[in-house]
Amino acid sequence: MNKTLPIHPLPESRSPPPGPASRPAPWRFNRLFSAPHRLAFAAAALLFALTGAWWAVAMVGHALGVGWPWSLPPAIAHGLLMGLGFMPMFFIGFLFTAGPKWLALPDVEARRLAVPLALQLAGWGVFLVATHVASKPLAAALGSAALGAAALGWTLAILRFARLVFASPVSDRVHAGTVLAAGIVGVVALALAASGVAVERYDVVRAAVLAALWGFIGVVFVTVSHRMIPFFTAAALPALDAWRPLWLLVVFVAVLGIEAAVAIVETLWWPLPFALRAAQVAVEAPAALLLLVLAVRWGLVQSLKVRLLAMLHVGFVWLGLALALSAISHALLLASGGERSLGLAPLHAYTMGYLGSTLLAMVTRVSAGHSGRPLAADDFVWRLFLGLQGVVVLRVAIGAGAAAGIGEAPLPIAVAAIGWALVVVVWARRYIGWYGRPRVDGRRG
């Protein structure tokens, strides 16, 4: 494996150094076009905050017995918006910032990404409205058209990324190619979701969402984790090596692919045959152990000295925990004849724990580095991250209560939803503010 010279980040401080008071530069919309990450992250963070607040209000209303008009099943709307809404837009910001560097190509102009992002942001905005339209036929038509717009936006973005991959002169395009393949899965999943909403086949929509969570969103995350976590760790902690053999990536993708396939089958064929469920447990349990051992091998303990690095490592640990919880849950199903499980605990450990924590860590890192700030997690973002961990633990505990026959009570779910919303809204407000202002070091970009 080729050795890459480490890039040592600036020392991490617990709070920004004191300096003379100065009024920050005014926020300008046109500055979003200065770099791909500015435009894409701003659009994604806006939807991130909006959907978090929307779901918190919905769950509080449910806990208080205040009925909302739902034209689509709430769980379906929640899965689509939280699973496939803001994530692809964050991907666009990352892929067209890091992607050209991976592929040794010139930078991409942010304006070339405006149409794909506008289609997605508008599509998800209309879909959010469609979930509460009183007329179900109108809601189905609006929701399907909105998802179609989001699918078209993502398709245009992934086609542009494909051109980068195929134009690259570098020989090692494994990570970029894996992301590209996952992105194509996302196109198919969005198209299926749009079709399912149009004809009110919500089993198809659910299958598309779960397949996308594992086979699209998850594969992109594990690919980036495989490439970046060892590199960032070796850069910040030179005593550790950037160990990332290719077979690890193959295992990651294979395990998530199996989870995606089983999720599709499970949605359309319940209950699963004993042999298939047992095979799923036989995959999940060793995969969970491998991931947790790997987290230690990659420097989990050492990373705790560097907050921004710790955020990435803690996020990765959640992937191992999610698969461990999933194995336990499916083993309970086998032992109880399908009567007991851990409910939604494994899914929320995966989505909120792994995807949510890693998202905050990666976007925070890119935003700091490309705004001329130190590569560090200050007190503000560190407290938000710790708050997120508390919310994830609460939501996982609520889901695990199903195994004890407690069920998922509306009030604790509302508390978890409020906690999530507070974290994402406050986080998004800070970084959207950065994207519309010039770099603090005076450089372009």
Q: What is the CATH number of the domain that holds 52?
A: 1.20.210.10
Contact 93, 40 (CB under 8 A): yes
| Domain membership flag for residue 1 | no
- The C-alpha atoms of residue 174 and residue 218 are separated, in whole angstroms, by 16
pLDDT at 368: 95
Q: What is the pLDDT along the chain (445 residues), one digit of tens a residue?
A: 333 333 333 334 344 444 444 677 899 999 999 999 999 999 999 999 999 999 999 999 999 998 788 999 999 999 999 999 999 999 999 999 999 999 999 999 999 999 999 999 999 999 999 999 989 999 999 999 999 999 999 999 999 999 999 999 999 999 999 999 999 999 999 999 999 999 999 999 999 999 999 999 999 999 999 999 988 888 778 767 778 899 999 999 999 999 999 999 988 888 888 999 999 999 999 999 999 999 999 988 888 899 999 999 999 999 999 999 999 999 999 998 888 899 999 999 999 999 999 999 999 999 999 999 998 899 999 999 999 999 999 999 998 887 777 777 899 999 999 999 999 999 999 999 999 999 998 888 7
- The C-alpha atoms of residue 262 and residue 265 are separated, in whole angstroms, by 5
- The C-alpha atoms of residue 177 and residue 107 are separated, in whole angstroms, by 18
| Domain membership flag for residue 444 | no
- The C-alpha atoms of residue 290 and residue 87 are separated, in whole angstroms, by 26
- The C-alpha atoms of residue 121 and residue 39 are separated, in whole angstroms, by 12
CB atoms within 10 A of CB 266: 18
- The C-alpha atoms of residue 326 and residue 28 are separated, in whole angstroms, by 46
pLDDT at 21: 45
pLDDT at 76: 95
pLDDT at 236: 79
| Domain membership flag for residue 26 | no
pLDDT at 239: 66
pLDDT at 22: 60
Domains in the chain: how many in total? 1
Give the structural domain span for 171: 34-435
- The C-alpha atoms of residue 111 and residue 131 are separated, in whole angstroms, by 31
Contact 92, 116 (CB under 8 A): yes
CA-based nearest residue to 311, from 375, 382, 224: 382
Burial-class residue 373 by CB neighbours within 10 Å (0-12, 13-18, 19+): middle
DSSP label of 372:
T
Q: What digits encode the pLDDT tens for the residues 305-337? A: 999 999 999 999 999 999 999 999 999 999 988
Please indicate, yes or no, whether the overall pTM of this predicted structure exceeds 0.75.
yes
pLDDT at 13: 39
pLDDT at 2: 39
